[in-house]
Amino acid sequence: MIKGGERIASATGVMLADPHSLGNAGQGASEALFDPDFWLARGELAAASGGRGSAWFVGSSAHPWVLRHYRRGGFMARISEDRYWWSEEDRVRSFSEWRLLHYLSQLGLNTPKPVVAFYRRDRWTYRCDLITERISQTQALSAALEAGALTAAVWRAVGAAVASLHRHGVDHADLNAHNILLDASGVVSVIDFDRGQVRPPGAWTSRNLARLKRSLQKIAAAVPPDRFTPASWKELMTGYQAA
């Protein structure tokens, strides 16, 4: 299990952070950091994004962050939209993701740098949140496909980014076109490592790739046929294998 970070007890919960990463933006704020109204009052609630979780773009231009509140999906969401069963602190989802992102940032991979994680326990359940640095000036691979056809070089770069994760044993639990970001210079980043883990080599790498391919095929069904073709996937795999 990956370790790291400093445990910080707050009034109603527990935080996990590298104190240096909080900077002046987080000094004295404690768990208020995880309340969107706190950022709204400061004029630093920039935008919101959808998806299964609740996510907000927060912070100043000097400290652009993403705040995410963990929410359940699927059948379990009918029972509780944001409560998880408590077992032990090391298994808190926001803490696990913080530690994985911290590990990836130490490796120099293009993933969000973690800022601070938080959980609040209520007997047998808990709720949790995570703040990461925002990767600015990017768009999701899914949005890029909707906007136009991608070059072979971009597809190869996507494949190389996935290969870089796999080379370090990182199993991304939800590798899809929405969680891959592109910038104007061709740099590829990967986000959303909830339930991700570091594992020995195995069949999970093929499952990651198959999940990504299904995601691309689903998007392709709603856009012009040139946006994602067998040749596109071949270029992606060329980048993957070359890396």
What's the pLDDT tens digit per position in 205-235? 999 999 999 999 999 999 999 999 999 999 9
| Whole-number average pLDDT of the chain | 90
> Which tens digits make up the pLDDT trace of 3-31?
888 899 888 899 999 877 665 544 555 78
Q: Are residues 98 and 21 in the same domain?
A: yes
Span 54-70, pLDDT tens digits:
799 999 888 899 999 99
Which residue, 133, 150, 171, sits at the end of a domain?
133
Whether 110 is covered by a domain: the verdict is yes
Looking at residue 73, its pLDDT comes to 66
Give the per-residue pLDDT at 22.
65
Contacts of 71 (CB under 8 A, 6+ apart): 52, 53, 54, 77, 81, 82
Q: In this predicted structure, what is the pLDDT of residue 10?
A: 84
Residues 84 and 190 grouped into a single domain: no
What is the pTM for the complete model shown? 0.91
Residue ranges making up the domain that contains 147: 138-242
d(CA 157, CA 109): 13
Rounded Cα distance, 94 and 129, in Å = 6
Do 11 and 115 share a domain, yes or no?
Answer: yes
By the 8 A CB rule, do 79 and 68 touch? no
The model's confidence at residue 53, banded by pLDDT at 50, 70 and 90, is low
Quick one: pLDDT band at residue 89, thresholds 50, 70, 90? very high
- What pLDDT sits at residue 77? 45
What mean pLDDT comes out for the span 28-51? 81
Active site amino acids: 174
Same domain, yes or no: 51 and 123: yes
User: In terms of domains, do 16 and 126 share one?
Assistant: yes
pLDDT at 79 over 90: no
In-domain check, residue 64: yes
Q: What is the pLDDT of residue 159?
A: 98
Last residue within a domain, chosen from 92, 116, 133: 133
Q: Do 43 and 34 form a contact (C-beta atoms < 8 A)?
A: no
Mean pLDDT of 142-146: 96
Regarding whether 123 and 109 lie in a shared domain, the answer is yes
112-140 pLDDT per residue, tens: 999 999 999 998 999 999 999 999 999 99
Which of 133, 155, 179 corresponds to the end of one domain?
133
Q: Are residues 147 and 107 in the same domain?
A: no
Instruction: Look at residue 181 in the predicted model and tell me its pLDDT.
Output: 97
Looking at per-residue pLDDT, the higher value among 73 and 190 belongs to 190
Residue 1 lies in a domain: no
Q: Is residue 192 part of a domain?
A: yes
Selected residue with higher pLDDT from 107 and 47: 107
- Domain check: are 48 and 67 in the same one? yes
152 and 225 belong to one structural domain: yes
Under a CB-based contact definition with an 8 Å cutoff, are residues 169 and 109 in contact?
no
Q: Say yes or no: 208 and 152 in one domain.
A: yes
Residue 48 lies in a domain: yes
**Number of domains composing the chain:** 2
Q: Is 94 found in the same domain as 42? A: yes
Q: Percentage of the chain surpassing pLDDT 70?
A: 90
CB 86 within 8 A of CB 126: yes
Within this chain, do residues 107 and 14 fall inside the same structural domain, yes or no?
A: yes
CATH number at residue 142: 1.10.510.10
